[in-house]
Structure 1
Amino acid sequence: MARTGSSSGIGLFLLLTFGLSCVFYALVIATGHLGGAMGMYVTGLMWCPGIAALLTCRLRGEGPGRLGWRWGAWRWPWLAYLVPLGYAAVAYAIVWGTGLGGFGNPQFLGKIGQALGFGGAPAWLNTAVYLVLLGSVGMVRSLSTALGEEIGWRGFLAPALVARLGFTGGALVTGAIWAAWHLPILLFADYNAGTPWWFAMPCFVVLVLSSSVLMTWLRLRSGSLWPCAVMHASHNLFIQAFFTPITAPRGTITPYAIDEFGFVLPLVMVVVAVVFWLKRDALRGEATVTA
């Protein structure tokens, strides 16, 4: 956990994070899309907070133990893995059930079959196999990038801010900084699912603030950064690689309803965040208060 004194290293961490990130912002924006350099630019960007946290510890003469490296009880990573799958399923069930989007995008289903090499196998079988592979093998790849962010945001920053501001303030300020860190690629690259920036940005900010409450709770309750990395990886994986692409468009309204830049998922996540916030009294640790 972070020290509660005035010298917690927050300023140095933020300076290093945004300084390192500027290199990858420029590279991503120059290409115009997140797939620049076959995704290596965005991978570098996602590791900037983690590298900044490690450098901050080094420059301050601290060991990296404050970042929460221990694995802890298995129930927390499992909870972190399943919660995004749950809230995504609820959000997209609302989208499909209300006709804001349809389940079963033919183009995506065709790509799955072609990628798996199963030829004329039924769409349901291709989808099931893809989902199993995504949730296992795909999770390893997603975790390798999500970990870079979480070493910084939840390993270093969230406990330090909670120590100063209490759980609610620390979680929300961490989320606000996290959201601001995304803005250059949201505004100047293609980190968007097709909605105008003035609509996408509020939806994304609400989603990130809600996520920050969940992940800060997990960080403090488990004493580990790993559940946060697992939740981050699970969220990115299932929403970006399954629920969004398998949703068929139903007119121009669909982009406004789906993904991280539509309104349904952020609203569902607000409800989930409130549930976790109401359980803040269960938190333990020197940096934990229930404000």
Structure 2
Amino acid sequence: MKEKKSVIAFLIITFMLSSIIYVIWIMGGEAATRSGISVLLMWCPAVATFIVCRKYYKKENLLGLNKCKLSFILTAIIVPMVYLGLSYGTYWLINKESFTGDLNIFSSVSSSYTNKLSHRSVVTVITLVIGIFTSIITATGEEIGWRGFLLPQLTKIWNVKVAVIVSGLIWALWHMPIMIAGLYLPGTPLWFKLPMFVIEVIAITVIMSVLRLKSKSVWPAILLHASHNYFDQAIFGTLTNSINKSYYVGETGIITVIVSILVAIITVMLFRKTMPDMSQSIYR
């Protein structure tokens, strides 16, 4: 069966390419993190997709880069703002001292340089805009693979429900090496952050998969992924200063996980009537 062979090939190539980046990143430590090596890692699924499609689907467009309704685009951008805003907002109410009110986007820039900036607000806006485009570029690399290629192929093998869960588990597993090495989402012990992260990833996968399958385009998944990363890391994360925040908010935070699950359930309920039968395979 071509679908099974292509999925296996995709996973092998993705994890082989990613393993090279894992080794370089882990050996380089924080210096490698600051070098932007994560961009290369996030494009491994896309590269694997290009290779597999060239071999198995030469005349078919399986990347999912199709146009879709504006409503899906807006939904994809807004949804992360909702579940992240609610979770961080709740945490700020519980722990008022954790809210800094300062985006602190200059933390990676030398103080001698920032002290010379006469128009800090202008630079802030420019930096935030650059952050948006960076998030979109990196998210595109992942989503071409995970939701552009893998998810639709899995729905040809299993029913939609199983395909979504399996794709979410694979996506979570892909993050594990750098999480275990302490280079991604530090701040909590492995026994806590690994299961919490898996649950959070599956919840987000459900939301992205519904938008991907309903719109028949990968763009909503790309923009939701980018919006999530941007608002979690560049906005809400930097507005929050607390030693224990990783236990409560963000991709390992229990408040964010609970809110994300609720939003995922609501998303499924809203689109249930127009979604493909969750017990059936699609894209045949």
- TM-score tier by shorter-chain length is 0.7 to 0.9
1:159 aligns with 2:152: yes
Equivalent residue, structure 2, for 1:267: 258
Normalised to the residue count of structure 1, the TM-score between the two structures is: 0.85
Question: Could you give the per-residue CA deviations for residues 124-175 of structure 1, whole angstroms, max 9, x where no partner exists?
Answer: xx5x9847963x4422111111100000000011111223322221111100
Equivalent residue, structure 2, for 1:211: 204
Equivalent residue, structure 2, for 1:36: 33
Verify the 8 A CA contact 1:33 1:191 in the aligned structure 2: no
Out of 136, 151, 161, which is 1:168 matched to? 161
Verify the 8 A CA contact 1:46 1:146 in the aligned structure 2: yes
Size of the aligned set, in residue pairs, is: 275
Q: Cα gap change, 1:69/1:208 in structure 2, threshold over 3 Å: closer, same or farther? A: same
1:117 aligns with 2:110: no
Q: Cα gap change, 1:230/1:101 in structure 2, threshold over 3 Å: closer, same or farther? A: farther
Shift of 1:93: 0.6
Verify the 8 A CA contact 2:6 2:52 in the aligned structure 1: yes
Q: Alpha carbon RMSD of aligned pairs, Å? A: 2.8
Report the more deviating stretch, 26-35 or 86-95. Answer: 26-35
* Residues 112-191 of structure 1 mapped to structure 2, 5 A cutoff: 114=114, 117-118=117-118, 126=121, 130=124, 134=128, 136-191=129-184
Question: Could you give the per-residue CA deviations for residues 212-266 of structure 1, whole angstroms, max 9, x where no partner exists?
Answer: 10111111111111111111111101101111121122xx533311221221111
1:95 aligns with 2:91: yes
How far apart, CA to CA, are the structure 1 residues paired with 2:274 and 2:227? 23
* Residues 216-231 of structure 1 mapped to structure 2, 5 A cutoff: 216-231=209-224
Any unmatched runs of 5+ in structure 2? 280-284
How far apart, CA to CA, are the structure 2 residues paired with 1:235 and 1:167? 23
Whichever residue aligns with residue 188 of structure 2, its letter is T
Shift of 1:207: 0.9
Any unmatched runs of 5+ in structure 1? none
How far apart, CA to CA, are the structure 2 residues paired with 1:214 and 1:190? 26
Whichever residue aligns with residue 43 of structure 1, its letter is V
Verify the 8 A CA contact 2:179 2:186 in the aligned structure 1: no
| Identity of matched residues, % | 32
How far apart, CA to CA, are the structure 2 residues paired with 1:236 and 1:34? 21
Q: Cα gap change, 1:52/1:160 in structure 2, threshold over 3 Å: closer, same or farther? A: same
* Residues 228-267 of structure 1 mapped to structure 2, 5 A cutoff: 228-249=221-242, 252-267=243-258
How far apart, CA to CA, are the structure 2 residues paired with 1:44 and 1:280? 34
Equivalent residue, structure 2, for 1:65: 61
How far apart, CA to CA, are the structure 2 residues paired with 1:218 and 1:248? 33
Q: Cα gap change, 1:264/1:35 in structure 2, threshold over 3 Å: closer, same or farther? A: farther
Corresponding residue SS for 2:267:
helix
Q: Cα gap change, 1:100/1:268 in structure 2, threshold over 3 Å: closer, same or farther? A: farther
Whichever residue aligns with residue 62 of structure 2, its letter is R
How far apart, CA to CA, are the structure 2 residues paired with 1:149 and 1:79? 19
Normalised to the residue count of structure 2, the TM-score between the two structures is: 0.87
Shift of 1:66: 1.6
Verify the 8 A CA contact 1:46 1:148 in the aligned structure 2: yes
1:86 aligns with 2:71: no
How far apart, CA to CA, are the structure 1 residues paired with 2:254 and 2:31? 22
Shift of 1:278: 2.1
Equivalent residue, structure 1, for 2:13: 16
How far apart, CA to CA, are the structure 1 residues paired with 2:266 and 2:68? 23
Equivalent residue, structure 1, for 2:282: none
How far apart, CA to CA, are the structure 2 residues paired with 1:244 and 1:161? 34
Verify the 8 A CA contact 1:92 1:258 in the aligned structure 2: yes
How far apart, CA to CA, are the structure 1 residues paired with 2:125 and 2:63? 32
Whichever residue aligns with residue 60 of structure 1, its letter is Y
Shift of 1:36: 3.3
Verify the 8 A CA contact 2:208 2:224 in the aligned structure 1: yes
How far apart, CA to CA, are the structure 2 residues paired with 1:220 and 1:156? 12
Equivalent residue, structure 2, for 1:289: 277
How far apart, CA to CA, are the structure 1 residues paired with 2:260 and 2:116? 32
Whichever residue aligns with residue 45 of structure 2, its letter is P
